[in-house]
């Protein structure tokens, strides 16, 4: 679960100028959910209505408008966004790289400590 992700407010404002405030809020909630759960959102009217705090009919209309605007797409029953998924992949790469670096440092330290003990 991600508790933080980078967001460029100027790029967001530019990219959402054609959306209504209601559509932008729905879009933001989906992007946040993708980042929060590290995966695309289920394409389920009840899930969306809870996320958007509206009726299932309104939730479906908002999703349809965001798909039509090219902001979201549905694949294999999941709502996704290319930028959010790209961010998840990048975050996974950075996380595994840092874990490997940490493990390497730990192995080096253990090796150095055992050398010091064997000399004593």
Q: Which residues pair with 74 in a beta bridge?
A: 79
Asked whether residue 7 is domain-assigned, the answer is: no
- Where in the sequence is the domain holding 98, given as residue range(s)? 17-119
Question: What is the pLDDT, as a whole number, of residue 5?
Answer: 79
d(CA 8, CA 3): 17
pLDDT at 86: 79
In a domain, 82, yes or no: yes
Establish if 98 belongs to a structural domain: yes
Token pair of 113 as six digits: 């400590």
The predicted model scores a pTM of 0.74
97-109: per-residue pLDDT in tens?
555 666 666 666 6
Beta-sheet pairing, 41-42 with 78-80: antiparallel
Q: What is the pLDDT of residues 23-51, one digit of tens each?
A: 999 999 999 999 899 999 999 999 999 99
61 within a domain of the structure (yes/no): yes
Please give the tally of structural domains in the chain: 1
Edge-to-edge strand list for the sheet holding 78-80? 41-42, 78-80, 73-75
């Amino acid at each position: 679960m991600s508790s933080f992700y980078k967001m460029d407010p100027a790029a967001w404002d530019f990219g959402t100028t054609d959306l209504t405030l209601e559509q932008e809020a729905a879009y933001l909630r989906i992007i946040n959910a993708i980042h929060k759960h590290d995966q695309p959102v289920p394409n389920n009217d009840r899930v969306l209505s809870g996320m958007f705090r509206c009726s299932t009919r309104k939730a479906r209309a908002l999703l349809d408008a965001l798909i039509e605007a090219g902001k979201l797409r549905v694949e294999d029953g999941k709502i996704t966004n290319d930028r959010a998924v790209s961010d998840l992949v990048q975050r996974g790469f950075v996380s595994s790289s840092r874990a490997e670096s940490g493990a390497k440092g730990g192995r080096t330290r253990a090796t150095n400590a055992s050398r010091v003990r064997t000399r004593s």
